[in-house]
Amino acid sequence: MDNELFPIIWFGLIGFALVIYVILDGYSLGIGILFPFIKGAEQRGIMLTTASPFWDGNQTWLVLSVAGLYGTFPLVYSSLLPAMYLPLILMLMCLFFRGMTFEFRSKASSRRSFDIGFCIVTTAVAFLQGMIVGSVIAGLGTDDGNFAENVLSAFSWFGLCTGIALVIGYALLGAAWLVIKTEGQLQKKFYRLIRPLMILFFLAMLAVVAITPLVNEMIAVRWAKWPNLLWLGITAVIMMILAIMTVRSATRRHEKRIFIQIGVMFVLGLVGLVASLYPVMLPPDITLWDAASSRSSQQFLLVGYAALLPITLGYTAYSYWLFRGKVRESEE
């Protein structure tokens, strides 16, 4: 029983870390994606200031999830990495340049080039993350767990769709975050962006859901069975209700509700994806049990995770509490 339980525990822990990363780092990437909608350098500086105490800490969750994957599901790690070498390297380079623009922008005499660079690299990170997810859903060509295709196979047309969807989703998260952290005319601009971004995001999700059965036969079969079809319909209705509630919250100026409702939409989407694939971790055929490391390795790593997870959660919660409130022009 333990041999079956530990992989499930680790699957949940890694998924938890990834969900937190997507939501927290998603809004900071969304800030850069929204730069073209805000023209003033001073206002863009305020946007960056809202995320400056948090953006590097948010990425800790990505490190935790990748480290957990490496130690507890090495077959997934060793199969995924060769398949996604190029997009992963590009993503890491863009994350590096994002940090550079964060730090150097305030010291530069001309901020325009840094603003353009920040917008480009954040959009690229969001797109690449979505593209990787799409390529994984579509399935990787493997032979006994070894990647058997060329590196350019990661750039698929379905990955293009999921990449665009995630860019829109992160922009929506960024707008929701900036509604909470700004005020006055700047805040009104982000309130106005919520409605069109939500419509685009909802349409993008519908497109991805419609295309997914065409690229993954296993998911198509699962979704066609009862009661999976019922749960899919219920999830779609809940997502639609959340989308409507988010637009209404923006109209009624309920600041914090907007971010929470969008965050729930992201969580539902990720949970739906996992439920559609489980117990397969890496399509087409690498399951949770196939990929798991030995029981002793998982037990040993669990001790470290048990110590790191509360510390990281506590640090994250404390930093957000400490830097709560609005960011004003004088603080840029």
What pLDDT digit, counting tens, does each position of 133-191 carry? 988 888 776 555 555 455 666 678 888 999 999 999 999 999 999 999 999 899 999 99
pLDDT at residue 152, rounded to an integer: 66
262 and 24 in contact (C-beta within 8 Å)? no
Between CA 274 and CA 210 the distance in angstroms is: 17
DSSP string, 184-222: HHHHHHHHHHHHHHHHHHHHHHHHHHHHHHHH-HHHHHH
Looking at the predicted structure, is the pLDDT value of residue 278 above 60?
yes
177 and 239 in contact (C-beta within 8 Å)? no
Q: Which tokens belong to 269?
A: 């989407």
Instruction: Report the SS3 class of residue 313.
Output: helix
150 and 106 in contact (C-beta within 8 Å)? no
Looking at the predicted structure, is the pLDDT value of residue 267 above 60?
yes
Share of the chain above pLDDT 90, in %: 45
Share of the chain above pLDDT 70, in %: 93
Looking at the predicted structure, is the pLDDT value of residue 1 above 60?
no
Q: Which of 153, 326, 156, 331 is nearest to 255 (CA)?
A: 326
CB burial of 117-135 (b: ≥16 within 10 Å; e: otherwise) equals bbbbbbbbbbbbbbbbbbb
Phi-psi region of 328 (alpha: psi -120 to 50; beta: other; left: phi over 0): beta
Phi-psi region of 144 (alpha: psi -120 to 50; beta: other; left: phi over 0): left
77 and 69 in contact (C-beta within 8 Å)? yes
pLDDT at residue 231, rounded to an integer: 87
Q: Which of 176, 206, 190 is nearest to 23 (CA)?
A: 176
Half-sphere exposure (Cβ direction) of 214: Cα atoms closer than 13 Å:
7
Half-sphere exposure (Cβ direction) of 136: Cα atoms closer than 13 Å:
24
Q: Which of 50, 107, 112, 54 is nearest to 332 (CA)?
A: 50
Tell me the CA distances in angstroms from 83 to 35, 77, 279, one per residue in order.
32, 10, 21
pTM of whole model > 0.75? Answer: yes
What pLDDT digit, counting tens, does each position of 77-122 carry? 888 888 888 888 999 999 988 888 877 887 766 778 888 889 999 9
Chain position carrying tokens 């949940």: 12
146 and 79 in contact (C-beta within 8 Å)? yes
Average pLDDT over residues 3-30: 90
Looking at the predicted structure, is the pLDDT value of residue 259 above 50?
yes
pLDDT at residue 182, rounded to an integer: 92
Instruction: Report the SS3 class of residue 147.
Output: strand
Spatial CB neighbours of 208, under 8 Å, sequence gap ≥ 6: 134, 161, 162, 165
What pLDDT digit, counting tens, does each position of 19-77 carry? 999 999 999 999 999 999 998 888 998 999 999 888 888 888 998 999 899 989 998 88
What is the pLDDT of the chain when averaged over all its residues?
Answer: 87
